[in-house]
Amino acid sequence: MAAKFELKKSKNDKFVFNLLAANGQVILTSEMYESRASALGGIEAVRKNAPNDGRFGRLSAKNGAPYFTLKAANGQVIGQSQMYSGAKARDAGIESVQAHATEAGLDDQTAA
């Protein structure tokens, strides 16, 4: 399986997407969007910004667990990772987003 964006509608009628690695693991989750069109714009923003290492924030949660965010040129967070066991695993997650986001397909699960 190739990497893909999975677009879903939440229980509160908002839209969210995940970027899945080739092994099916979620490597990036979006914010909630009010419309499908906005969510699709978010996917395009991930594709555009993922190759730029400077767009990634390398952060730690309050419990010390490393994670990352991906920001657009305007500084807005487009997506966030899961919590990782260590900085090396987090950095591998960033590399995976950089390697796969631009070519990832779209699995639109919102179509009625």
* Residue 8 maps to a domain: yes
Quickly state the pLDDT bin for 2 (edges 50, 70, 90). confident
pLDDT value of position 111: 72
pLDDT value of position 112: 56
pLDDT value of position 98: 96
- Go through 87-100 and write b for each residue having 16 or more CB atoms within 10 A of its CB, e for each that does not: eeebeebbebbbeb
* Residue 33 maps to a domain: yes
| Residue 57 β-bridge partners | 69
CATH code at 26?
2.30.29.80
* Residue 112 maps to a domain: no
Q: Which residue has the tokens 């990772």?
A: 81
Cβ atoms of 47 and 3 within 8 Å: the answer is no
The number of folded domains in the chain is 1
In tens, the pLDDT along 73-83 reads 999 999 999 99
* Residue 49 maps to a domain: yes
pLDDT value of position 1: 65
Could you tell me the CA-to-CA distances from 95 to 30, 62, 67 in Å, in that order? 17, 24, 13
**Domain enclosing residue 52, as ranges:** 4-107
Q: Which residue has the tokens 């990634």?
A: 56
* Residue 92 maps to a domain: yes
